[in-house]
Amino acid sequence: MALTIKQQLSSPGGILKFLVKHNTIFIFILLVVFSALISDVFFTSTNLSNLLKQVSGIGIISIGMLLVILTGGIDLSVGSMVALLAVTFAILVNIVVLPLAIVLTIVIGFALGSIAGYLVAFQKMAPFVATLALMTIARGLGFIYLKDLQLLLKLQEESLCLILQIILH
């Protein structure tokens, strides 16, 4: 029979066992408390909003990876795909309008991910091998795109105004 949290904590050595079992939560709480102590502005709405914006991309990727891992799979290509798609987006945003650049980047990511999915599902290739191959391809394409180029994003007037609003607030 599974013990409730209250029963776990009240048993001998329960608090220590609970902290060891749930160490990630404990470390997160310590990090928040430490950050709040060393900075007066940690709990301001601006800072918390900024933190959420910064972790949102990794959070979305983490949820996707959670689903992959829960189903017993593995995807080694995620980091290289994110880098390739970031480079692709940076190139596209200088060529086409922003909404089209977003859509094209998503379509390219979907197409590349579908290749690995096809290899695993229909060709019975091991997920490790398929995603390792996709990782290598994505990394290589990213290097080919970049070569020695510096990518400069075009700032439209609306983007510049938005950036200034964020900086000034």
Question: So what's the pLDDT on residue 28?
Answer: 87
| pLDDT less than 70: residues of the chain | 1-3, 5-10, 148-169
Q: Where are the domains of the chain?
A: 1-43, 74-168
Query: Residue 17 in contact with residue 8, Cβ under 8 Å?
Result: yes
Written as six digits, the tokens of 30 are 């310590």
Instruction: Report the candidate in 145, 148, 117, 143 with the shortest Cα–Cα distance to residue 130.
Output: 117
Question: So what's the pLDDT on residue 149?
Answer: 57
Question: So what's the pLDDT on residue 124?
Answer: 92
Evaluate if pTM is beyond 0.75: no
